[in-house]
Amino acid sequence: MNAAAAEPYRYRPTLALPYWDEIGGFIEDAVTDASAITGREPHILFPATTAFVLWAWQARGTPLERTRIFRASVVEEFVHLGVGRYLRGSRATHRATLTLMVRALNPADSLTKQRPIPRSVPTQPYSAAEIAALHSWALGQNTSRRRYDALTLLALGLGAGPATREILELRVSSLDIRGDQPVVIVWESRPRAVGRDRRTSPAQLTA
């Protein structure tokens, strides 16, 4: 086994980065312990746990104590109020992950009944005029680097279709070339591999 393979997984927060000095240690310890208890990989536990702890600590004012944070009732509040903008499937995934965390870290706490998650309002696709306006905005950036970054963002958002929070977590290593078809690996929220629509690749948008 080489050194890279032996290196432990390190989570890179995005939205929580400004607060990581305050909450990072608490989250990392919780994920490490829950992973050891449940057998789930840390990269599966980190996204939901980070969003949940940040919300509970920042919006709810809950102290960073396991028995205060990792409670089923707090998870329910988070799912219905803290991430109300998330799609139904993402909220269900977060709840499943956080319920696992509660059972691992605070087994004395329990909530026998969970409220149903309401259906999400379908998002309307962009019209041709809106896509043209976005394309014009991207090409209007004042440096070549900014133009390429903007076009890459459009290629991912319009082609592969990940959510905003998922795009924020993408890195160069998230792009996998399989044969002639680029594949975007998404770990946030709903881990999956999605094919990008080649019609919206940066190279073709700039043609």
Alpha-carbon span 10 to 116, nearest angstrom:
34
State how far the Cα of 3 lies from the Cα of 24, in Å rounded to an integer.
25
| 79-95 mean pLDDT | 79
Q: Percentage of residues in the chain with pLDDT exceeding 70?
A: 77
7/110 Cα distance (integer angstroms): 35
Task: Report the pLDDT averaged over residues 144-171.
Answer: 80
**184 pLDDT higher than 60:** yes
Measured from the Cβ of residue 178, the count of other Cβ atoms closer than 10 Å reads 9
Better pLDDT: 202 or 12: 12
What is the token pair recorded at 112? 């026998």
Higher pLDDT, 105 or 94: 105
Q: What is the pLDDT of residue 205?
A: 36
